[in-house]
Structure 1
Amino acid sequence: MDQTSLDVMAGFISFVIAAILFTAIGIMICKNKRSQTQATQDPTSIIVPTPNPKQTTITVEEIASFDPSLQISMSDIIAATKNFSADLVTSDSRLGIVYKAELPNGLKLAVKKLAPDAFQGFMEFRSELEILGKLRHRNIVRLLGYCIAGAERVLIYEFFEKGNLDVCLHDLFSDCARFPLRWQTRIKILRGVANGLAYMHALEKPIIHRDVKAENIFLDSQFEAHIVDFGLARMVKAEHTHVSTRAAGTMGYMPPEYEEGFTTATVKGDVYSFGILMLEVATGRRPNLPVSMNGETTSLLKWAKDMIAQNQAKEMLDPNIWVYGSTGLDDSKILE
């Protein structure tokens, strides 16, 4: 890789750090302002479904499909996942486990079996589906339908060939990670995530994801990014920039006020998490793991700030990029 490319990458890293720092400062300023007005906040500004005790328990099977071509039942899902076989698990989170499913006609699906405590009640589950059903963007996962049978709740998504970004970056034994992602592909992925978040934040009732991280970014066969897992998302009125909910997120990606116990969700929180994701994609390091520097351990963000201060931006970049970064081969060709 020539000197010009190295300089461009170093400049990109510097931009990421600066963006994160400015976002963090803005968040802390807004946090102080919010703490002064939170006590007088109009409760009608928060979109929260009104619980109905009669709807908290489902005793019969309920099926909904948002794709006219998809007609499926819980028994079909059980058969397609081989009774939710551990061999078909593609990802796992506190909200549930995702399985690869294949119907008799060859259609591949991603089936998310929700954890019993993934939602506070059935009304919250319905609210989640209402949000997901309205999202239409190339960089946001498409919900195809859902099934409910007794206490079981299952979401049905389109299937993504490459799995999630976390696997592609860090799991050396995955099909996606057999060859490191080229720099151009990493930029494409980040641009897709940015476009998806911008779409959510610009809606008439903006949606705040609250858990932007590599595990929630899935990649299709062309390495196009798709944001998934809106279990922590909340819809807010256009005239307000926040909604109070319980604390949520993932250590390493969470903005400072989330880690300090403030549960007010903001668009800036998503932007901060996206900045951390950019840093992870560029460096190949997990944000929730400590980094060793000068015999001491520190966070990824502090390490990056120190490296920039010492004019070592180039040394921050993922060394795996160099392996295939100058071959001229497309990732989709390499991985065939």
Structure 2
Amino acid sequence: MKSALMMILACLLAAAGTSSVAALFSINLSLTLDFYASTCPGAAAKIKEMVDAAVQTETRMGASLLRLHFHDCFGCDASVLLDDVLPSFVGEKTAPPNDNSLRGFEVINNIKTEVEKLCPGKVSCADILTVAARDAVVALGGPSWQVPLGRKDSTTANFTDALVSLPSPFLDLSDLADAFASKGFSTQEMITLSGAHTVGKARCGLFRQRAHSEGNIDPAYAAFLQSICPGTDGVGDDNLAPLDNSTTTDTFDRGYYLSLVGKKGLLHSDQALLPNGGSSSTQINTYNSFLLGSVSFFTDFSNAMVKMGKLTGPAGNVGQIRTDCSRVN
């Protein structure tokens, strides 16, 4: 049932087009690197301390925090952190792309609690999540980058927007490119941001079709996935496999791209980035650059993350500083 639902979501996203979605997003021009220099100078250190502790306790949490940030953007307003208040308010947590997928909410809530003790009412949940994602990448051995700050927390969330705006794991290359282009990202930036899949795991329901039905996959890898994920919908749907099939599944590095070259991309949308060895000069040049070493990937990934973190929702950078990330004030 979940697999069928995800296929429907893929069709919804493709049907949504790019022109209408593009109009919903803009760049936040009010962010600055020193936004909390006088109002909460200790915030960055506290966030890093708590992210490091969370990743040390559970390595997978690093990937979970990064994924949580990705799903909050494109919008970067902490809307994904809001709990449902039934029957009056349904947030984004239970939208199919997020439900039983996103983790790390408690880590962000705990960080917020401690930051509030340092400087009440000053640091937004959106900024905490953005910084935490950067610190999670660093904790896993990846690059660091400067995070522009000053985001506001939204006072609402949009279930439907979460349903159609997040790129589906079943999309082909052209649809992926359109989805990212609608937010202002080039094909190279799309390939770069997809490198976040060098860490983390995905559930069987998202890769069952690839494991059992697709031809552009290494046969031994397909057999491995089939041992984890039976071909029958509803059986083993929550079984996990690493997104990066290299030997460094818990390290933020270029292993993801090595997996794709070997036709060992876990998700259809992963392997779609490199069909038949690459179908454009942009793909080939990007992969060649990344495969030569991690420096180019790290630089490009850092730049793309800064760009993504500047996206804002349809209302722009308006809202509040929540005292509790899971609910509006």
Q: TM-score with structure 1 length normalisation? A: 0.27
Larger RCO: 1 or 2 (CA < 8 Å, sep 6+): 2
Higher strand content, 1 or 2? 1
Larger CA Rg, structure 1 vs 2: 1
Higher helix content, 1 or 2? 2
Q: TM-score with structure 2 length normalisation? A: 0.27
